[in-house]
Chain A
Amino acid sequence: MSPLYQVLTPEGQLVQDIAGLPDEATMIKMLENMLLVRLFDRKSINLQRQGRMGTYAPFEGQEASQVGSAMALAPGDWLFPTYRDHAAAIVHGQSMMRVFLYWMGHMEGSISPKNLNIMPPCVPIATQMVHAVGTAWASKLQNEKHVSLAYFGDGATSEGDFHEALNFAGVFKTPTVFFCQNNGFAISVPFEQQSASKTIAQRAAAYDIPGVRIDGNDIFAVWLTMKNAIERAHAGEGPTLIEAMTYRYGAHTTADDPKKYRDQDRLSEEWRQERDPIQRLRVYLEKQGLWNEEKESDFIAGAGVKIDAALAEAESYPKSRPEDMFKHVYAEPTWMASEQEKELVKPAKQEGIPA
């Protein structure tokens, strides 16, 4: 089995002296980002329970993987998230307001901030990996120093598109980073039943690209591995496959009951107690004198205000109009859709229902 690369132990200690660690400001930002997105995640689950948001995919437990990887990106890089990677999207610059909008069922929730290339969350499994090959390939052909980062889960590695993406990226040496958050379950199917190979990282060998297996709850390991992958990509050495071992504490989505397929209380408690990504960085930073309870409560108060502001903005966002569904299907609408739009809008007006 490929060794598990770890920099920061669950006890918050460096395993050894390591070159290239993030500077202090970046370390603090890492913790702040993880705290922020965890609050965001919990808030979202509550909103779903209150009926203010639709079905939601929580990521708590996977903050180091998402935050650490996204923090390694530069503007202009392409980010291909799945439906569980809104933490990565937020860290790379997506507004929390848009993420709320997306889960509230607004199409405008997928709009990327200008020049950031944050793709809409991909719902089919593994299909976005091939797009990340394509955008990276285009960057290479156009001599732009950008990488494309595709997120996916362990279940995605069973899909054909996973293999096609790795194969294409290997053949054309595209500057793509494939980032797997192996959280052990594809909804209910455990990894042992997903794959006979012991690790996902070892699959990289089949495509002759580097495969790295890392502690996905160790944000230093994630960030350093990403930095290496990006450096390789910039040097024209092609793609990297990263397997980050992590765990989602909660359900697959708010519509799912994890107790049906795993010892939910025990396992989540165990991961939370023993491997939590936030706790270990917090302990480390406290030991360095870079963080304390006061800083944390100040930060959390400020983060809460920001999240509430984003929520207020999302909830007061103009209501989508029925005719919005007809926009952006083609550059120019077809006659069929234009006529159907008129049919849709006309009777509603006649009945006095605001369009």
Chain B
Amino acid sequence: MKRKLTMIQAITEAMDQKMAEDSRVMLMGEDVGVNGGVFRATENLLQKYGANRVVDTPLAEAGIIGAAIGLAMNGLLPVVEIQFLAFIYPGFEQIVSHAARMRYRTRGQYHVPMVIRTPYGAGIRGPELHSESVESFFAHVPGLKVVAPSNPYDAKGLLIAAMEDPDPVIFLEPTKLYRAFKEEVPEEMYRVPIGKAKVVREGTDLSIFAWGAMLRVADEAAKQIEREQGVSCEVVDLRTIYPLDRDAIVQSVKKTGRAIVVHEAHKTAGMGAEIISIINDEALIYLKAPVKRITGFDVPVPQFSIEDDYLPTPGRVMSGIMETVTY
């Protein structure tokens, strides 16, 4: 039977199925138990798996992440929820100094198989510090993997892959997409491999690289520009931010000869710079125009009265496309 799920339902199902299959998996974080998570990602799991496996913790990010590191080192598979990405900062040291480095420091003797799930990104009319997109912080740290799905199908498959990954995974869930749409999600367990991008729209004139909520913006722009200007854009969902899928990036640029990167993170030192660098290294001679970045600005994500002006829009992406194809 075909069923359609929202992204949040797909995420819940991934955890539910993995918990049923592997008794080592446990969920922990603030409000994940009785309340089922502030976005209801863990709804009903406490009732199903009990308080030893779905743990409402004290409100302390270093404590949550640090304790999860110990749990992971000693045989369990913790899936941590941090309520919003910008709330992760008190636990940042635990992530970068310990989760990321334990395997290295012990020469492979101990490792930290944990997943840190956190909603991220703007567009939900959230209060201050509920809308950040700082994936670069984590992509810069050797030892971590960083994943950001853009749809329910990938969210389930990537989350299952993340829970099975022997290394710590920062799993960024685009808040705006939690309930934005439904799509078919298989009932059985399946994996979407970490580190593999996906071409979501074939095109010949220009490649657009995006992830998370920006994938939809990129896709919308691609549709509209094809309709209005006859420009054929290839849209690539990177899905994993670290490690990037170089082959997918390079193949697409070789085919189209032009590229733009769309992300809602701040422009400077954002992942766009890294993607352009890969293109320089591997496909420079195929380029017919400089690669552009359509991104959030180098300002704190503003409060929501002007949030939409911060975020890349299909309009801004289309302008970027036109500048690039007419260069």
Contact = CB atoms under 8 A, between A and B. Distances in A.
A179 B173 CA distance: 39
Of listed B72, B74, B104, residue having the most chain A CB within 10 A: B74
A330 B175 CA distance: 28
Interface in B149-178: 165-167
Interface of A: 78, 107-108, 110-112, 119-120, 124, 127, 129-139, 141-142, 148, 160-161, 164-165, 167-168, 171-172, 327-331, 334-337
Interface of B: 26, 52, 55, 57-58, 60, 62-63, 65-76, 90, 93-94, 97-98, 103-111, 142-143, 145, 165-167, 195, 242-243, 246
Contacts of B66: 127, 129-131, 133-134, 161, 164-165
A336 B58 contact: no
Contact of A133 (B70, B104, B105, B142): B70
Contact of B105 (A78, A120, A134, A139): A120
Contact of A330 (B57, B94, B103): B103
A167 B64 CA distance: 11
Given A119-B106, A134-B74, 6 more contacts: A130-B62, A130-B63, A131-B70, A131-B98, A135-B71, A138-B73
A329 B142 contact: yes
B107 A108 contact: yes
B75 to A, nearest CB: 6
A337 B69 CA distance: 24
Given A120-B105, A127-B66, A328-B104, A139 B74 contact: yes
A132 B74 CA distance: 10
Given A130-B70, A135-B71, A138-B76, A330 B58 contact: no
Pick the 8 closest A-B CB pairs, nearest first.
A134-B70, A130-B66, A164-B63, A138-B74, A134-B67, A135-B70, A331-B166, A131-B70
A327 B60 contact: no
B63 A111 contact: no
B3 to A, nearest CB: 34
Q: Provide the main secondary structure of the chain A interface.
A: helix
B143 A165 contact: no
Nearest to B68: A134
A161 to B, nearest CB: 5
A257 B97 CA distance: 28
B94 A130 contact: yes
B106 A111 contact: yes
Of listed A110, A132, A138, A336, residue having the most chain B CB within 10 A: A138
B243 A331 contact: no
28 contacts: A107-B107, A110-B107, A111-B107, A120-B106, A124-B93, A127-B62, A127-B93, A127-B94, A130-B67, A130-B70, A132-B70, A133-B66, A134-B73, A142-B74, A142-B76, A160-B60, A161-B66, A167-B58, A167-B60, A168-B57, A172-B55, A328-B107, A329-B103, A329-B104, A329-B143, A330-B167, A334-B242, A335-B243
Contacts of B65: 130
Contacts of B143: 329-330
Of listed B52, B70, B98, residue having the most chain A CB within 10 A: B70
B63 A167 contact: yes
A135 B93 CA distance: 18
A108 B109 CA distance: 10
